[in-house]
Structure 1
Amino acid sequence: MSDLLQRYGVFLNVENPEGDARDALGQTVRTAIAAEELGFHAAWVAEHHYSPFAIGSALTVLLSHVAACTSTIRLGTGASLLALNDPLRVAEDIASLDLLSGGRIEFGVARGGPFPEQYRHAGIASANVARERMHEALALIQRLWNEPQTRFDGRFFHYEGVAVYPRPLQRPVPVWLASLASDSQRLAEQHGYGLMATPSADFSEVAEQVAAGRARRGDFPFAIARFFHCDEDSRRAIEHGVAAVRAYPRLMGVQFASGKLPPMFAPGAPEAVILANSIIGTPEQCVARAKALRDRLGPYQLLLKPATHDPVEARASLALFARAAGLAAT
């Protein structure tokens, strides 16, 4: 098993390149089951909407199925898009999921990422408004889980004497903010939340922010998702992994604000930039890279996001890493 300074998880985006939604969902579940069998600490699943490619729109439905098929692996919402959803329903769904899973839920939340269409259909004017709405929804959910009745008078949500049931098994449910924005960092510091960096976040910037956060907070929960591909042949791993990363923005339909484009997604990004921000190579190279991240970041959780649309290949890649890292039973 991994030491307590470094935990390994998988980051699963329900991708449907072949137009077979049933198979895409089923393969995601199978990969989460395989992750538990391989000894990974957690399986995180992304939420996306209005995309024929990324079809993980019913996050808690999918995770409930994963929960029924597993017994020990932690299950993360990576992340629940609070700005787009009814916080009362999210509170009920996550509490039910925590109970059904035996208290295995990690509650990651986010505003919605670089996907303007999600905001438009939700009637949200901008990404900044979405972030404010996310923070307010999270504050409401925390109170709903802990108060007999809640009176809430915010900018976006107004309730008088509301109570939701059931309540979660964990007290408290671990909360993660999938954002390194300054207001999210302040909120995390105030409430003891964990922080999470996305697969495309520039590592140099992340490392600086984490170092500053640790100077203020000491050791705090931190997770970073990284594009990942592992192969016994180094050059084959690099060619496949780099090509997958370069194709990802187009397939996902991301639209970053001016000046916010991650270096690894820049047109013609050098291979070296992509590799510096990914976990790609032979099993030994991947494990060495993971340990190098730990040396820079301190205690953290690494979430491996397979850089392949072939689920069998993704599971084989995870198995190679698990064996090299000493996670797998065999």
Structure 2
Amino acid sequence: MTDSLQRYGVFLNVENPGGSAAQALEETMRTGVEAEALGFDDVWVAEHHYSRFAIGSAPGALLGYLAARTSRVRLGTGAALLALNDPVRVAEEVATLDLLSRGRIEFGVARGGPFPVQYRHAGLASPEAARERMHEALALILRLWSEPATCLEGRFYRCDDLSIEPRPLQQPVPVWLASLSADSRRLAAAHGYGLMATPSADLAKVAALLAPERAARGDFPFAIARFFHCESDHRRAVENGLAGVRSYPGLMGVRFTPASMPPMFAPDASDAVILANAVIGDPAHCAARLRLLQEQLGPHRLLLKPAAHDPAQARAALGLFMREVAEAGGQLRVSP
């Protein structure tokens, strides 16, 4: 366990580069279980649909497995795609997970990312419509967790005198918005939610958006996920880490508009641009990145997204990080 001034998490995307879903699920869950033994504080599980590569389509089942196999590490939905799901069912499932894990759930939510097929099958005309539905779904879920009975006549959802069971153990369950849009920033400020930046988010842009939020809200919960790879040999770490990041957009099938394309995912992105937005290198270089993140972002949680698609290589990198980097980056202060 890291000391009280540090907080590190692992960001898991169930990736299936070899074409065996059973093996991909088993390896991802093994990484999550080992993360607790290595001393990580959080394990977050991504949700994706209709992809042959990213097959984490049932985050509740995955988190239930991790809840049963771990005892300390906090477990996050990274993030629950509320616009694609029935919010009443999500409320019941997350409450059940919180009880089974003895109050270890972190509830991250998102609109769905640059994957048009997800919106199409959910009957959503645009990412903006997905965001609006997500915000309404989140408000409904929180009411279902706290009110004796809920009535709602919303734009997307309606319920009349609805009461769900079970209720979460935590009151309240920590909520995170995996978005830095203006709407999400306003919503987070109004309700005390945490904000989360994705692995591909441009660090300079994140820092610029975060500064006024810090000025207005003080030390609020903030997390940033970063592509990560660490090996003792710096050259090999960079070579393997860059290869993983460069292959990722194609494997995931992302569809960014030109205006929303993260610089690190641009087809002509330089090595320097990718490395500036990741934690890749030998232990000394990774520790330096941690210190730079602290200087630019202030208190935060750092969520490491393994760049290596080979699970054994990813676990080795995570182990090396905790043995040799976490202590070297010990000046990192993080939010709750």
TM-score by length of structure 2 reads 0.96
Aligned to 2:332: none
Secondary structure at the aligned position of 1:75 is classed as strand
Secondary structure at the aligned position of 2:199 is classed as coil
1:285 aligns with 2:263: no
1:145 aligns with 2:145: yes
The CA distance in 1 between the partners of 2:130 and 2:39, in whole Å, is: 36
Counterpart AA for 2:16: N
Counterpart AA for 1:13: N
Using the TM superposition, give the Cα deviation of residue 4 of structure 1 relative to its aligned residue in structure 2, in angstroms.
4.0
Q: How does 1:248-263 map to 2 (within 5 A)?
A: 248-263=248-263
Counterpart AA for 1:160: D
The CA distance in 2 between the partners of 1:295 and 1:74, in whole Å, is: 26
Using the TM superposition, give the Cα deviation of residue 326 of structure 1 relative to its aligned residue in structure 2, in angstroms.
4.5
Which ranges of structure 1 fall in alignment gaps of 5 or more residues? none
The CA distance in 2 between the partners of 1:326 and 1:295, in whole Å, is: 16
Aligned to 1:12: 12
The CA distance in 1 between the partners of 2:4 and 2:138, in whole Å, is: 28
Report Cα offsets for 1:90-121 as digits up to 9, x if no partner.
00000000000010000000000000000000
Aligned to 2:308: 308
The CA distance in 2 between the partners of 1:275 and 1:308, in whole Å, is: 14
Counterpart AA for 1:54: A
Does the CA contact (< 8 Å) of 1:6 and 1:294 recur in 2? Answer: no
Identity percentage over the alignment? 67
Q: How does 1:35-54 map to 2 (within 5 A)?
A: 35-54=35-54
Report Cα offsets for 1:108-148 as digits up to 9, x if no partner.
00000000000000111100000000000000000000000
Change in Cα spacing, 1:4 to 1:182, as seen in structure 2 (3 Å) is farther
1:90 aligns with 2:81: no
Secondary structure at the aligned position of 1:170 is classed as coil
Aligned to 1:105: 105
1:73 aligns with 2:73: yes
Which stretch of structure 1 is more off in the superposition, 281-290 or 169-178? 281-290
Does the CA contact (< 8 Å) of 1:2 and 1:325 recur in 2? Answer: no
Using the TM superposition, give the Cα deviation of residue 183 of structure 1 relative to its aligned residue in structure 2, in angstroms.
0.2
Report Cα offsets for 1:294-328 as digits up to 9, x if no partner.
1211110000000011111100000000011346x
The CA distance in 2 between the partners of 1:78 and 1:133, in whole Å, is: 18
Does the CA contact (< 8 Å) of 2:287 and 2:326 recur in 1? Answer: no
1:132 aligns with 2:100: no
TM-score by length of structure 1 reads 0.98
Counterpart AA for 1:90: V
The CA distance in 2 between the partners of 1:223 and 1:178, in whole Å, is: 9
Which ranges of structure 2 fall in alignment gaps of 5 or more residues? 328-336
Aligned to 2:274: 274
Using the TM superposition, give the Cα deviation of residue 6 of structure 1 relative to its aligned residue in structure 2, in angstroms.
3.6
Does the CA contact (< 8 Å) of 1:264 and 1:273 recur in 2? Answer: yes
Report Cα offsets for 1:28-68 as digits up to 9, x if no partner.
11101111001000000100000010000000011100110
Aligned to 2:246: 246
Secondary structure at the aligned position of 1:259 is classed as helix
1:299 aligns with 2:299: yes
Secondary structure at the aligned position of 2:25 is classed as helix
The CA distance in 2 between the partners of 1:247 and 1:8, in whole Å, is: 25
Aligned to 1:159: 159
Counterpart AA for 1:200: S
Which stretch of structure 1 is more off in the superposition, 317-326 or 193-202? 317-326
Segments of 4+ in structure 1 off by > 2 A?
Answer: 1-6
Report Cα offsets for 1:164-204 as digits up to 9, x if no partner.
11000001100000000000000000000000000000000
Counterpart AA for 2:169: L
Does the CA contact (< 8 Å) of 1:64 and 1:97 recur in 2? Answer: yes
Aligned to 2:171: 171
